[in-house]
Amino acid sequence: MSSTRRIHQYWSIRELTYRILDGAAVVGGALLAQLQMPGSHDRYLVAGLIATIVFHIIAEITGLYRNWRGISLERELLCAVFTWSFAIPFMVTFGYVTDSFSYFPPQAATVWFAATPLGMVALRILVRFALRRLRASGYNTRRYAVVGVNELALRLVEALENAPDLGLTLLGFYDDRPEERTGQIPEAVGKKLGSISELVEHAKQRRVDMIYITFPMRAEKRIRSILNQLGDTTASVYIVPDFFVFELLHSRWTNVGGLPVVSVYENPFYGIDGFVKRAMDLALGTLFLILASPAMIAIALAIKWTSPGPVFFRQRRYGLDGREIVVWKFRTMTVCEDGAEVSQAVRGDSRVTKVGAFLRRTSLDELPQLFNVLKGEMSLVGPRPHANVHNEEYRRIIQGYMLRHKVRPGLTGLAQVNGYRGETNTLEKMQGRVELDLRYIREWSLWLDLKILAQTFWAVLRGQNAY
């Protein structure tokens, strides 16, 4: 009977430390709340322990204790705060159903709910600062070597050198091939120290702690040979799959029946990230709609009085995962094209009405899409949706075009604030827009969304490419 081969995930010391510190922040917040309403010290301690259990259950859902290497501290802190926010309603419900928290007055609960996330944030910042200081001083560091001199190896070293929190120091590169076959290693990156056999000797001498193999996956026999040789050492060995040299849209490890798989093209909005983005869409979308309501009423009346036809223009476009949605806009033309042929507006377009010209220049014609945002069909920020006929045209000639539909389309996007607003009358312009759309998906963060929203107002004021 053969054994099942699995990729195991273990709790690291760092992860365990964060779990303990988070528990201390929760219990500490409860005890701090007790000072606001003197009573049984033990009862507040029990409440804190119950809340800690609830918090850690919610943390498994939000992915708080996943590996945050290479991800900004801001995103980790945001995840911690939102995990606590998720835990509060479950905790309160459990407490009052079991009558465990009946002695908590509102003022004490307020102190607890506010002090706990502040403690989590402060402790995480302190841990990262301490780790950086320790590793900068030479403590808790490990030496690593790279097998293979190729593009993947150079990218790996760059990534590791840009992550000082890992505490890794490059020893050098090892490869049996001559330099004319591998190319030169930039001096700023490192140097080649020898052949594979020399690496094995260095590993036996414990000069290297970790070894990364970056040969292509097609070199299976070669990799097996190296692994057999390194099996006589105590170094930790890792294989870096060469599919990471591809343009991954959003990658993450998962498993199917114990077998490891990695996503290549994936939606980045899972767990807490998806909740944060949707919460921002609902909050800001509602606010923008309230503020824009008087202007929208005035625009509707102006359209109705100055040209025959409907107030709104509705057009079928692709939404999340390529599902068809109906996008709303104020009508700005004498026509409402939504068929097999849709012509983009050009400068001096005779189809544009007088009111429509003003609306297009100021992007006020897009305001009805706030309803699409609130319905969940669109987002405030994301790739701008195109007419279906344009989607079918460009998906055939631009590689990766349809990947922009792995997220909800947006009212505005990274492309629009970087000069790709309005007409795309050449293939190069559409390629530039798609490249920026995919970059947005790869690099998304809440701060990026807020930055794009702020830049959108400036782009609208300039009125560039809007006609």
Q: Is 394 among the domain residues? A: yes
Phi/psi at 396 (5° precision):
-85, -20
3-state SS class at 15: helix
Q: Give the max Cα distance, the chain.
A: 86
Q: Are residues 311 and 236 in the same domain?
A: no
Residues facing 212 on adjacent strands: 146, 238
Based on the fold, state whether residues 353 and 388 are members of the same structural domain.
yes
Whether 447 is covered by a domain: the verdict is yes
Last residue of a domain, one of 101, 136, 171: 136
Query: Rounded to the nearest 5°, which phi and psi values hold at 377?
Result: -80, -25
Cα(457)–Cα(363) distance, integer angstroms:
10
* Assigned domain for 260 exists: no
Range of the domain at 39: 13-136
257 located within any domain = no
How many distinct structural domains can be found in the chain? 3
Domain-embedded: residue 4: no
Mark out the alpha helices in 71-105 (DSSP H runs): 73-97
Residues written for the chain: 467
Measuring CA to CA, which residue among 189, 130, 190 is closest to residue 165? 130
Task: Classify 410 as helix, strand or coil.
Answer: strand
Amino acid (one-letter) located at 26: V
What whole-number distance in Å separates Cα of residue 438 and Cα of residue 423? 19
Q: Would 123 be classed as within a structural domain? A: yes
* Per-residue model confidence (pLDDT) at position 2: 43
Q: Domain check: are 224 and 300 in the same one?
A: no
Query: Is residue 433 located within the same domain as residue 302?
Result: yes
Residue 359: both structure tokens together: 């609306």
| Contacts of residue 163, Cβ cutoff 8 Å, sequence gap at least 6 | 69, 70
Closest to 290 (Cα-Cα) out of 409, 370, 359: 370
Specify whether the CB–CB gap between 427 and 393 falls below 8 A: no
Of the candidates 87, 82, 86, 90, the residue with the CA atom closest to the CA atom of residue 121: 82
Backbone angles phi, psi at 239, to 5 degrees: -105, 125
3-state helix, strand and coil shares in percent for the chain, rounded to the nearest 5: 55, 10, 35
Identify whether residues 282 and 210 lie together within a single domain: no
CA distance 63 to 55: 12
Q: Are 216 and 242 in contact (CB under 8 A)?
A: yes
CA atoms within 13 A on the CB side of 204: 10
Same-domain pairing of 313 and 453? yes
Rounded Cα–Cα distance for residues 446 and 272 (Å): 11
Q: Do the domain assignments include residue 255?
A: no
CATH number at residue 199: 3.40.50.620
**Domain termination residue (choose one: 136, 155, 185):** 136
Q: How far apart are CA 216 and CA 206, in angstroms?
A: 26
Q: Which amino acid is at 284?
A: L
Residues of the chain short of pLDDT 50, as ranges, are 1-4, 7, 10
Q: Is 210 helix (H, G, I), strand (E, B) or coil?
A: strand
Candidates 262, 203, 259, 193; CA nearest to 227 is: 203
How far apart (Å, rounded) are the C-alpha atoms in residues 161 and 189? 9
Please indicate, yes or no, whether residues 350 and 217 belong to a single structural domain of this protein: no
Amino acid at 278: R
Distance CA 288, CA 283 (A): 9
- Based on C-alpha coordinates, what's the Rg of the chain? 28
Cα 342 from chain centroid?
Answer: 34
CB 405 within 8 A of CB 378: no
Strands 324-330, 312-318: pairing is: antiparallel
187 and 311 belong to one structural domain:
no
